[in-house]
Amino acid sequence: MSYEIKEESREHAPLERKFLKFSLPFESFINSQIVAGIVLLISAIAAILMVNLGWEQSYEAISALKLTMSIGNLEISHSIHYWINDGLMVLFFFILGLEIKYECLVGALSDLKDAALVIVMALGGMVLPALIYITIIWSSGSDAYQGWGIPMATDTAFAIGILTLLGAKAPRAAYILLTGLAIVDDMGAVAVIGFFYTEQIVVQSLLWAGFTLFVMFIINLLGIRKPVFYLTGGIFLWWFILQSGVHATTAGLLAAMMVPTRPYANKVWFRRKMQNVIEDFKKADTLDTPILENEQQHALAVKAEDIAKQTTAPILRWGYTLDKPVSLIILPLFAFLNAGVMLPTVLPEFNDTVVTLAIIFALVFGKGIGISLFAWLGLKMGVVRLPSGVKFSHIMGIGFLAGVGFTMSLFISALAFEGQAALIEQAKLGILFGSLIAGVAGAIILFFTAKD
């Protein structure tokens, strides 16, 4: 059902009609599913161009720019790069946590039979890439084993963006499979970050984090749905986890698990109250009086908004509120500050490209073959089933699309090779080229599958 406001129902400002000719196409673009991937791509390209066109010092200066926060004698000062990676990216993990919780409760992961295929595919997409990476590193004699977690995750924004560009060439079930796969992948990536990329644990801070999480849990049980309580708890949780040695972004995922799923009022109350508001609105209506001059009608319109908020689940409402700022501001900033890499002008020595090659092969073949192989084995064993309208060739295309690991892979590479600039550069090249090849391969497979 469309709720678009028709022209005759609008009240235009003097210059609004002409302005809408330019603003409406832009607004439609902003609200499309592919915009997040496009903005990410533009940010990454901007970073690469700055580094390779002689502005490397300016790029590094932006990344190292200090941002200081102080209250009295308490002062926290870190680089912009640190604030984005260890601070604002918590919101990305918070939204990821909301999506995981929603999918587990009522979405693609809520029914074990329906979720089995997604889980099996995700296992293949995590195990084989890690094995391929480790095998290449071992055969080369390198000791860069800690990068094995880099090719495990899928960048949902890029992968879904590519699938959306294909339009009707991919069935609706393919979107659900890819989204579920990306979520399970990201769950695995978060677990890898928490367990394997944590060097030292400060038990006292971890206990305080646990206590904060328990308080947030009790707040949820008490039926408190005010965002300020969860925001405050989330800030304290982030601080304690940051001090504990576990990566701070884990706080976003944990805080999301505490977000209420039940609305304040049920649907029957919503329907009854909205009907009352509409009736009162009609009674107070004067056709020749604008709502600006009718305070009663304006109050009723505000009341309708409040009623709607009382009947929507916080887990959905908060996610929708944060989605655009995170996908269009925070993630592009992260991409810009982390994707800057010097592209080689000559063919480098093999020893200088081991990590790059390992990541490329892991993202392209590890994801594509691993996801397809595990899905095939699951189907042969009878433990999974294909959704209606989905062929195995769709699974293969989705498998390669899942090799687009941009955001999470860059994030893990910074943790895996912290303090090792040369290896981080190799990892970035591998992520960029591997994601590009995997994305193109997946799109081609799905394109020709649609012609069958």
Residues 147 and 44 in one domain: yes
Residues 426 and 292 in one domain: no
Determine the distance from the C-alpha atom of residue 58 to the mean position of all C-alpha atoms in its chain, rounded to a whole number.
28
Residues 159 and 283 in one domain: no
Residues 295 and 328 in one domain: no
**Confidence band for 1, pLDDT divided at 50, 70 and 90:** very low
- Asked whether residue 208 is assigned to any structural domain, the reply reads no
State how far the alpha carbon of 131 is from the alpha carbons of 214, 361, 397, 414, 417, in Å: 37, 11, 21, 20, 18
Residues 190 and 96 in one domain: yes
pLDDT digits (tens, 9 = 90+) for 28-72: 544 555 677 778 788 888 888 888 888 888 888 888 888 877 776
Helix residue ranges per DSSP H, 31-111: 35-52, 56-64, 80-82, 89-105
- Asked whether residue 239 is assigned to any structural domain, the reply reads no
Task: Check residue 30 and give its pLDDT.
Answer: 47
Residues 163 and 300 in one domain: no
- Asked whether residue 16 is assigned to any structural domain, the reply reads no
Residues 305 and 435 in one domain: no
**% of the chain exceeding 90 in pLDDT:** 10
The partner residues of 68 in beta bridges, in order of sequence, read: 77
- Asked whether residue 376 is assigned to any structural domain, the reply reads yes
Domain boundary among 277, 293, 310: 310
Helix residue ranges per DSSP H, 245-391: 250-257, 267-283, 295-310, 314-325, 331-338, 354-361, 367-381
List, in order, residues 6 or more apart from 59 with CB less than 8 Å away. Answer: 47, 50, 51, 340
Contact 56, 50 (CB under 8 A): yes
213 membership: H or E segment, kind and range: helix 203-221
The highest-confidence range among 68-82, 297-311, 378-392, by mean pLDDT, is 297-311
pLDDT digits (tens, 9 = 90+) for 322-345: 888 888 888 888 888 877 777 766
Residues 61 and 161 in one domain: yes
- Asked whether residue 216 is assigned to any structural domain, the reply reads no
Judge whether residue 168 has pLDDT over 70.
no
Residues 170 and 120 in one domain: yes
Task: Check residue 211 and give its pLDDT.
Answer: 93
**Confidence band for 151, pLDDT divided at 50, 70 and 90:** confident
The highest-confidence range among 18-32, 225-239, 310-324, 348-362, by mean pLDDT, is 225-239
Judge whether residue 218 has pLDDT over 90.
yes
Count of domains for the chain: 2
- Asked whether residue 225 is assigned to any structural domain, the reply reads no
Task: Check residue 452 and give its pLDDT.
Answer: 56
Residues 291 and 320 in one domain: no
Residues 435 and 344 in one domain: yes
| CATH number of the domain where residue 442 is located | 1.20.1530.10
- Asked whether residue 15 is assigned to any structural domain, the reply reads no
Judge whether residue 394 has pLDDT over 80.
yes
Residues spanned by the domain of 297 = 267-310
- Asked whether residue 3 is assigned to any structural domain, the reply reads no
State how far the alpha carbon of 108 is from the alpha carbons of 43, 98, 314, 346, in Å: 31, 14, 20, 47
Helix then strand then coil, % of the chain, to nearest 5 = 75, 5, 25
Residues 326 and 182 in one domain: yes
